[in-house]
Amino acid sequence: MTASLAEQQVLNKSRRALRFIGLSMVVYLLAGGVSLLGFRWIPRLGSAREAVFPTVFWLSTPALLAGSLALHRAVGFVRWEKQRQFRHALVQALLLGVLFVGLQGCGLKMMLEHQDPSESQTGSNAFLTVISALHAMHFTVALWWLLWVLISAFDDRYDHESYWGVTACGWFWHGLGIVWGVVLLVFLIATCFQ
């Protein structure tokens, strides 16, 4: 007994959703592993009375920039129907995103450990932690979006005529890179002028 076309489409969508959920778990387990390694190898912060900038944030920034470049290259590859290079660039961006999220998780934990409870509502560390956490939440969305684009790419859903999802994902990632630059500037101001 063969399935109708409509049943086959529903089945394919279900399989894609299951792959997305499974790969999301793998991606975030890997990011958690990166965070755990960071906790072991990266030195802890100093006094809880001053605004701090975890060194790990500097280490994560090149991963964000390289991931942004990989997504930019992916858009170029899909425009020219270079599917193998396109998929490779997407995988590269995903791995760099996992590295970024893992290192950011490590940095956020360090900031939370550094937080002085008496200054949790008014201190500069609280503000810096909140803007870092907000950026991390938005980057989580960007990573999920990239994962969906990657799954779709391996299902041959993109070509030189239809690649809007890849372009939009890339621009979202670039936008988060710009926002991260602003966050770094705020950290610099807060830590230099205490």
Task: Give the residue extent of every domain in the chain.
Answer: 5-44+53-192
**Alpha carbon distance 130, 152 (integer Å):** 33
**Alpha carbon distance 4, 22 (integer Å):** 27
Contact between residue 144 and residue 99 where contact means Cβ atoms under 8 Å apart: no
Q: What share of the chain is helix, strand, coil (3-state, %, to 5)?
A: 80, 0, 20
Which one, of 176, 54, 41, lies nearest residue 115 by Cα? 54
**Alpha carbon distance 69, 92 (integer Å):** 10
The counts of H helices and E strands in the chain are: 5, 0
Look at phi and psi of residue 51 and say left if phi exceeds 0, alpha if psi is from -120 to 50, else beta. beta
pLDDT digits (tens, 9 = 90+) for 45-90: 665 556 778 889 988 999 999 999 999 999 999 999 999 999 999 9
- Domain 5-44+53-192: give its CATH architecture: Up-down Bundle (1.20)
Q: For each of the chain's 194 residues, which pLDDT tens digit applies?
A: 566 888 888 888 889 999 999 999 999 999 999 999 988 888 776 655 567 788 899 889 999 999 999 999 999 999 999 999 999 999 999 999 999 999 999 999 988 887 777 766 667 788 888 899 999 999 999 999 999 999 999 999 998 888 999 999 999 999 999 999 999 999 888 888 76
